[in-house]
Amino acid sequence: ISDPVVDQGDDLCSRSDVLSFASAALPADALISGAIKLRLEVASDAPDTAFTVKLSEHFADGRVLNIRDDISTLGLRNGARKRISYRPGERVEVDFEMTPILWRLHKGSRLRLDISSSNAPAFFPHPNRAGLWSRVADPAIARQSLFGGALTIAVE
């Protein structure tokens, strides 16, 4: 049975607004145990915007299942409780700490990481303007830049 919320398609994402990265095929079964952490170095031409990340298992038969996903805005990055100022074009680090999980990875599978600014319907689209999302009446298109990053996963 295919679940459209979990089944993420049959290949790396080919959308122009999503960057997809994949590992080599796993030589044996493995177990992800604990939190999944990701740090990105990014910039945007918007005064505030969102970055989304999604980690999936890409099976040898082509199926792709979502393991975890997360979202962060530049204005509330890295767990900030109060809005942080952001100057368009500024390079900043954005940390993601996804809910801990116990997930069996299968021999021949690859890990797939998708990075974007949208992951609807999982997360409401960001209007790419500063302020409270629900009060922004005129969303804008943002140009995002990714300079690098690091993914940390506990694998047994």
CB atoms within 10 A of CB 149: 17
- φ, ψ at 26 (rounded to 5°): -70, 135
Amino acid at 62: G
DSSP codes, 121-147? TTSPPP-SSSS-GGG--S-----EEEE
**What pLDDT, on the 0 to 100 scale, is given for residue 136?**
83
Question: Tell me: the pLDDT tens digits for 4-15?
Answer: 444 445 455 666
Q: How far apart are the C-alpha atoms of 97 and 140, rounded to whole Å? A: 27
Q: State yes or no: cis peptide before 139, omega within 30 of 0.
A: no
Amino acid at 126: H
Contacts of 69 (CB under 8 A, 6+ apart): 52, 53, 54, 55, 98, 119, 122, 123
**What pLDDT, on the 0 to 100 scale, is given for residue 132?**
80
Q: Does residue 50 have a pLDDT over 80?
A: yes
Number of H helices and number of E strands within the chain? Answer: 0, 7
Identify the CA nearest to 58 among candidates 13, 117, 122, 2: 13
Residue 8 tokens read as 């993420």
pTM of the model: 0.86
Q: Does residue 113 have a pLDDT over 60?
A: yes
Question: Tell me: the pLDDT tens digits for 54-91?
Answer: 999 999 998 999 999 999 999 999 999 999 999 999 99
Residue with tokens 């998708």: 114
In which order are the strands placed within the sheet that holds 110-116?
A: 19-22, 110-116, 50-58, 64-73
